[in-house]
C-alpha cells in the first residue's frame, strides 16, 4: 500500500506543507512555553494567567497576525512583537511565504482536564495549563502543536514567579 503525500507545488517537492506548518507551530509552542518567555522580567505565562483571572476567564487567545488578545491587554505588545518576529523567521526557514500565513494563533487553557501529577517533581508547581498553537497558510494544510505545564498567577509580591536555574 502506497500512501500519497501532498507536496507543496510552489516549492517543487521537499517536505510536505503540513509538516512545515507543524514545524513552525512546534517552534512557536516550544519557545512560548519556555521559562525564557519573558514579559517585563517575569514569565509571560504567569502574567497571562493573571490576565485571565482578572477577566474571570479560563483561556487567553493570542492572534499573532492582528496583535490582538482575548481578553484584551496592552501589556501583551512585547509578546506579540517577539512571537511575530519568530513566526516570520520560522516561516522563512520553512519556505512558507509569510504573506501566505492567514492564521497564527496561540491558545492558553488554564482549566484543562486534570492529569496525574508527580508530587516529587519540583517544577510541577501551580495549576495545570495547556498551550495550543495553530498555523494556517493559504491553500495549505494546518499545522498544530500542543504542550502543557504548570503555573500560578503572576504575583508582584512573590519572587517565586521568576525562577532562576
pLDDT digits (tens, 9 = 90+) for 84-100: 999 999 999 999 999 99
Is residue 11 one of the residues assigned to a domain? no
For all residues of the chain together, what is the average pLDDT? Answer: 80
The C-alpha atoms of residue 19 and residue 106 are separated, in whole angstroms, by: 18
Query: Is the distance from CB of 107 to CB of 131 less than 8 angstroms?
Result: yes
Is residue 32 one of the residues assigned to a domain? yes
- This prediction has a pTM of 0.80
Is residue 164 one of the residues assigned to a domain? no
Q: Which residues does residue 63 pair with via DSSP β-bridges, in sequence order?
A: 68, 105
Is residue 2 one of the residues assigned to a domain? no
Q: How far is residue 37 from each of residues 57, 131, 140, 149, measured CA to CA in Å?
A: 22, 13, 29, 14
Is residue 5 one of the residues assigned to a domain? no
DSSP H helices, the chain, are 17-33, 44-54, 77-93
Is residue 61 one of the residues assigned to a domain? yes
Q: Which domain holds residue 60?
A: 17-155
* Cell numbers given for 159: 519572587
Is residue 134 one of the residues assigned to a domain? yes
pLDDT digits (tens, 9 = 90+) for 12-30: 445 568 899 999 999 999 9
Q: How far is residue 26 from each of residues 1, 15, 69, 71, 86, measured CA to CA in Å?
A: 30, 15, 20, 24, 12
Is residue 9 one of the residues assigned to a domain? no
Q: Which residues does residue 104 pair with via DSSP β-bridges, in sequence order?
A: 135
pLDDT over 70 (residue 119): no
The residue among 133 and 124 whose pLDDT is bigger is 133
Question: How many domains is the chain built from?
Answer: 1
The C-alpha atoms of residue 128 and residue 149 are separated, in whole angstroms, by: 6
Amino acid at each position: 500500500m502506497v500512501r500519497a503525500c501532498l507536496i507543496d507545488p510552489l516549492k517543487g517537492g521537499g517536505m510536505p506543507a503540513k509538516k512545515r506548518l507543524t514545524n513552525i507551530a512546534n517552534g512557536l509552542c516550544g519557545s512560548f512555553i519556555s521559562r525564557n518567555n519573558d514579559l517585563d522580567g517575569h514569565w509571560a505565562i504567569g502574567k497571562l494567567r493573571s490576565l485571565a483571572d482578572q477577566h474571570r476567564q479560563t483561556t487567553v487567545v493570542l492572534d499573532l497576525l492582528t496583535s490582538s488578545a482575548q481578553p484584551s491587554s496592552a501589556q501583551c505588545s512585547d509578546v506579540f512583537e517577539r512571537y511575530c518576529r519568530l513566526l516570520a523567521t520560522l516561516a522563512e526557514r520553512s519556505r512558507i511565504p509569510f504573506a501566505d500565513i492567514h492564521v497564527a494563533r496561540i491558545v492558553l487553557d488554564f482549566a484543562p482536564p486534570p492529569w496525574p501529577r508527580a508530587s516529587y517533581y519540583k517544577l510541577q508547581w501551580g495549576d495545570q495549563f495547556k498551550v495550543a498553537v495553530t498555523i494556517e497558510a493559504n491553500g495549505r494544510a494546518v499545522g498544530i502543536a500542543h504542550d502543557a505545564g504548570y503555573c500560578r498567577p503572576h504575583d508582584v509580591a512573590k519572587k517565586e514567579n521568576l525562577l532562576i536555574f
